[in-house]
Amino acid sequence: MTPLPPGFRIALDRDTRQLTADLLFGGSPARVLRLTAAGQAALRELADGPVSSAATGALARHLTDAGLAHPLPPEPDRAADVTVVVPALGRPGPLARCLAGLGARHPVLVVDDGSEDPAAIAGVAAAHGAELVRRDVNGGPGAARNTALDHVPTELVAFVDSDCVPAPGWVEPLAAHFADPLVAAVAPRVCPLAADTAAGRYTRAASSLDLGDRPARVAPGTRTSYVPTAALVVRRSALVEAGAFDPALRVGEDVDLVWRLHAAGYRVRYAPDVTVGHHEPETWRALLGRRARYGTSAAPLAKRHPGALAPLGLHPWPALTVGALLAGRPLLAAGGFAGAVGGMVRTLRAHDVPADGVVRAMATAVHQTWLGCGRYGTQFAAPLLAALLVPRGWGRRAAVASLLLGPPLTAWAKTRPGLDPVRYTAAAIADDVAYGGGVWAGCLAHRTLEPVRPALVRRPLRFTTKGTR
């Protein structure tokens, strides 16, 4: 394992817990890490200072790879050598706002991807001192970014969509992560810039591009499985080695690239301490249309990356508990929950790990399974759920209503957006239905059911031992 370089510090993830002197719990996927005596000594050193030895570097790498901690790069000793690339298709107004936000700190290359009015794009680029490359035929965002690579002399490339508005100095803290030779890409947090309409207020609370405020290693099957290329800094050599963007993908090309970089052994980081604004659709029609387009990418991505796109992960015992509760079988649900608790206690004791808090953890797992099933049902079987509300029987109606309404109401209570719960819930259901409709359309076009097939997770917790040599 390549250690994290000297000078890097680490910050434990906010969900990481030190159970004992030699046990850490957390990460994504969740795991228990047992530290040898040497590992404990290295952790104490990292708590007080940066990586300064092979031992601390090896442990820091393991912790940051597992999601138990996040890297804090050292202050760079020179300015980042970066070229900013902005693909554009029409919309000279947003392009002008984007280039004004970028300023003149780094060279900027605008790729006109076959705009109908090339003179307007050329005028905006010239007014802001940006170099311009023209594609006569529209090839999509991936093809436009690939075209730019032939004109980029720097090792780092910052891709920014024309509807983004970066803040001054946004590149430098992201570029600092590339002091780690394994880092291939780093993404900032993409924050919605939305009009004061009902659609805009919903988007500010639930933008699909905003991945939240928690830093993460980006990898399939983790809490942050992808990042968008609305704003992304990439190591050019790694991008070329991975084959650059797939021009055949008009949507989802960013997810495909991130997963290929991960498969090649590189690290991709999400760094939400840096934010970039992104203009969002102002109308419901535009917003839901975009969500449907995003959904169409699931099928080609699933065929390119088998097993990386499960829409729902089900752990057997929590799934049994939720199914029994929805079916009105409380005794079976109690048995399922007892099985979940008992199974986890036995697993922990077999690995000599304290079992404190298992009941609460399993209750959380059941709650998350219920929310996941509700979201899954709304996205991919909304007509069926609606039909099940019709027959008589308040118990069945309540169970189905909990699947439809539970996830959006839980999200509303957590975020308290600028919409009342009724309108927020209706918007969230429409959002999920639009996305699911796009997924089904992609499945039909590519003749696959992989994007709608749930996955059975048989290993709810990982156990590893880490020493240093």
pLDDT tens per residue, range 11-31? 999 999 999 999 999 998 899
- The predicted structure's pLDDT at residue 469: 43
In this predicted structure, the answer to whether residue 467 has a pLDDT above a threshold of 70 is no
Tell me the C-alpha to C-alpha distance, in Å, between residue 91 and each of 11, 123, 124, 159, 165: 41, 12, 10, 17, 14
Confidence of residue 50 (pLDDT cuts 50, 70, 90): very high
Confidence (pTM):
0.92
- The predicted model gives 203-228 an average pLDDT of 93
- The predicted structure's pLDDT at residue 309: 86
* 373 burial via Cβ count (<10 Å: 0-12, 13-18, 19+): buried
Structure tokens at 428: 């969230």
What residue type is assigned to position 323 of the chain? G
Confidence of residue 253 (pLDDT cuts 50, 70, 90): very high
Digit-coded pLDDT (tens) for 301-345: 999 999 888 899 899 999 999 999 998 899 999 999 999 999 999
- The predicted model gives 427-438 an average pLDDT of 95
Digit-coded pLDDT (tens) for 58-115: 999 999 999 999 999 999 888 889 999 999 998 999 999 999 999 888 999 999 999 9
pLDDT mean across residues, the chain: 92
Digit-coded pLDDT (tens) for 123-140: 999 999 999 999 999 999
In this predicted structure, the answer to whether residue 214 has a pLDDT above a threshold of 60 is yes
- The predicted structure's pLDDT at residue 391: 67
In this predicted structure, the answer to whether residue 392 has a pLDDT above a threshold of 70 is no
In this predicted structure, the answer to whether residue 461 has a pLDDT above a threshold of 80 is no
